[in-house]
Copies of this chain bind each other. A is one copy, B any other.
Amino acid sequence: MSRWKPDAQGRLMKAAIALFDEQGYEATTVAEIAERAGLTKRTFFRHFADKREVLFSGSHELQRLWLEGVAAAPADATPLAVVTAGLDPVAQMFTERHEFARIRAGIIEANPELQERELIKLQNLTGAITAALVERGVSANAAILAAHTGVTVFHVAFARWVEQDDPTAFRRLMDESLEELRSVTAA
């Protein structure tokens, strides 16, 4: 027996999401979240850098999966093909978590603070993908634009995916968005 109940971080995340969903993000204090998890405010901030971060621990996993897909792309693939090679594992992960993603997206949509955090996570992701491309020998300019394009496709498709009911539609929605983007940018 350990001294503390296990998985304090997970308890905090669950308590936070439940409270945000019940009564809203702003109306929920960190002390409330901690209390529901059987902990204190000070301990919350030992596990999460700030109140928003409790909703974004998954962004690391997203980045890891995407970069795995990038690393697995064939050596002769175009920069954009390398980026989109990351979409397969990503789609798979999200498909298994459609309901959770919807609840979380609803919370974020209602709060500009949380949208800001989401956007900077996507920008960090863009930066990581750019670095991976440069590592493969892609020029800095092409890398940054290919990464931006891929993340935009993900972002747009994600928004469409949470708005509809089919959990398996994510991969298809990303392909459609990419096709539409191609047709928009075609001179």
- Determine chain A's interface SS by DSSP, over half rule: helix
Q: With contacts A116-B117, A116-B119, A185-B185 known, what are 18 further pairs, Cβ within 8 A? A: A79-B184, A80-B184, A80-B185, A115-B120, A115-B123, A119-B119, A119-B120, A119-B123, A141-B177, A145-B156, A148-B152, A149-B152, A149-B181, A149-B185, A152-B152, A182-B185, A185-B186, A186-B186
* Contact string against B for A residues 155-187, beta-carbon threshold 8 Å, 1 for contact and 0 otherwise: 010000000000000000000010011111111
Q: How many copies does the complex hold?
A: 2
Q: How far is the CA of A144 from the CA of B156 in the complex (A)?
A: 8
Q: How far is the CA of A141 from the CA of B182 in the complex (A)?
A: 12
Q: How far is the CA of A78 from the CA of B185 in the complex (A)?
A: 10
Q: How far is the CA of A79 from the CA of B183 in the complex (A)?
A: 10
Of the candidates A117, A145, A180, A183, the one having the most CB atoms from chain B within 10 angstroms of its own CB is A145
Q: Which residues from chain B contact A148 at a C-beta distance below 8 Å?
A: 152, 156, 181
Evaluate contact between B112 and A180: CB separation under 8 angstroms.
Answer: no
The answer to whether A180 and B141 touch (CB under 8 A), given A156-B148, A185-B80, is yes
Q: Can you list 5 A-B pairs with a CB-CB distance of less than 8 A?
A: A116-B119, A119-B123, A142-B180, A145-B184, A148-B152
Evaluate contact between B120 and A180: CB separation under 8 angstroms.
Answer: no
Q: Which residues from chain B contact A112 at a C-beta distance below 8 Å?
A: 120
Evaluate contact between A142 and B184: CB separation under 8 angstroms.
Answer: yes
Q: Which residues from chain B contact A177 at a C-beta distance below 8 Å?
A: 141, 145
Evaluate contact between A180 and B145: CB separation under 8 angstroms.
Answer: yes
Q: How far is the CA of A115 from the CA of B144 in the complex (A)?
A: 17
A163 to chain B, nearest CB (A): 12
Q: Which residues from chain B contact A146 at a C-beta distance below 8 Å?
A: 184
